[in-house]
Structure 1
Amino acid sequence: MMAEGIIWGTALLAYGTFRLWYDNWSGPLKPTEIDAFLAQMAGRFEATGNSPDVLRAFLAADDGREFVMLNLVKAQLDPVEDPQTGQMVQGFELLKRYSKRFMPVLFRNGGHPGIVGRKVGGYVDAWNTEPDPGWTVFGLMRYRSRRDMIKLVMDPAFMAGHPDKLLGTLATFSFPTQRVLSFYVGPRVTVALVLALIAALSHLMMLTIAS
């Protein structure tokens, strides 16, 4: 019985540790946090044509919940100068290098990709919208909270890779969403099922050995 308790207790501990990382336990953003962040980022948003007022409104409406950022990207497929080596490389290669910097910071702050894919055709259903600029890829990125998005943006590793993003991207837009309906099982359920399966198999193996 002690061995069984250790097996299932370890599984519960592992799942609890996962939830400590995966869930937001700090509540919504405070006004002072928003002001400090926007002050540090002053001028950066305007430089790329973005509105700090739109971002402030999103942060001020923080409900403490996770959200998913929809990203559409038109990659630079022509050669550009690599800021690190000075050599000419395809812009898309710089975008991939940026992603390699971005992903570890995203994971570190409780986020992860939901789905990433490439575009395989033009608009098949669109009205009252701008013509397709030639999107290359799309991504759905899960953020643990709006506070974690701020932490990511201010992370030195993310900031160091941002020039690669600018050189590797011809056009992009992103907006935050929250899930209403999904037929995909999320990581909370998936991790619980995997840990339960491992614990059950370990339990059966222990019983087999004992018999």
Structure 2
Amino acid sequence: MEGAPPDGGQKAVDRTGAFDPRAALPRQSPVVVGESVADSLDLLGIEGAEAWSDGAIMRYRSRRTLVDIISNPEFYARHDFKMAGLEKTIAFPIEPRIYLGDLRLLLGLFMLAVTALLDARLARKALSADSA
């Protein structure tokens, strides 16, 4: 690819970092990022996808945020370097069925826990007052 380092690989992928991260990172957050520790455990219908070096799951605030990022011309100007440096990649959007990191859920669970603790404390006080 024109403009890619002659030794390619990771250096070409690193060139994707030239895309202004302020345009993407404030609107996305990595959920899971890590290096592979074994080959694929379950694989069906995909040739050559047994071994992976890294994996990541990214969360975007909304579909609109993702569309804004991928419709930015600067994104695709650097995306070619990513593709030149990778042997294989998969990227696809999902809709979570249950998202345990949702602030509304966490706040609700916290309030439920506080209510349960207060209820238990009041019940204990009432029980000790009755037995006295």
Q: Aligning the two structures, in what range does the TM-score lie when normalised by the shorter sequence?
A: 0.5 to 0.7
- Secondary structure of the residue aligned to 1:174 is coil
Deviation at 1:98, TM superposition (A): 1.1
Q: Which residue of 2 aligns with 1:161?
A: 78
Match of 1:92 in 2: 10
Taking the aligned partners of 2:79 and 2:40, their CA distance within structure 1 comes to 29
* Residue identity in the other structure for 1:147: R
Show structure 2 runs of 5+ residues with no match.
108-132
Corresponding position of 2:68: 151
Among the aligned pairs, what percent are the same residue? 22
* Secondary structure at the counterpart of residue 172 of structure 1: coil
1:83 is matched with which residue?
3
SS at match of 1:106: helix
Alignment of 1:12-23 (within 5 A): none
Judging by fraction of residues, say which structure has more strand: 1
Distance 1:182 1:133, change over 3 A: same
Post-superposition Cα deviations, 1:38-58, rounded to whole Å, max 9, x if no partner, equal xxxxxxxxxxxxxxxxxxxxx
TM-score normalised according to structure 2 size:
0.60
Cα distance, 1:100 vs structure 2 = 5.3
TM-score scaled to structure 1, two decimals?
A: 0.41
Alpha-carbon deviations, 1:179-211, whole Å to 9, x = none?
34466x56x48xx9xxxxxxxxxxxxxxxxxxx
Is the counterpart of residue 101 in structure 1 residue 7 in structure 2? no
Root-mean-square deviation (Å): 2.9
> Is the radius of gyration larger for structure 1 or structure 2?
2
1:130 aligns with 2:54: no
Matched ranges for 1:1-211 at <5 A:
83=3, 87-99=5-17, 101=19, 103-108=21-26, 110-124=27-41, 126=42, 128-131=44-47, 132-181=49-98, 185=101, 188=103
How many Å separate the matches in 1 of 2:93 and 2:44?
21
Contact 1:106 1:112 survives alignment (8 Å):
no
User: CA 1:101–1:130 in 2, change beyond 3 Å: closer, same or farther?
Assistant: same
Aligned residues: 104
**In 1: Cα distance, 2:17 partner to 2:54 partner:** 13
Cα 1:137–1:100 shift into 2, 3 Å = farther
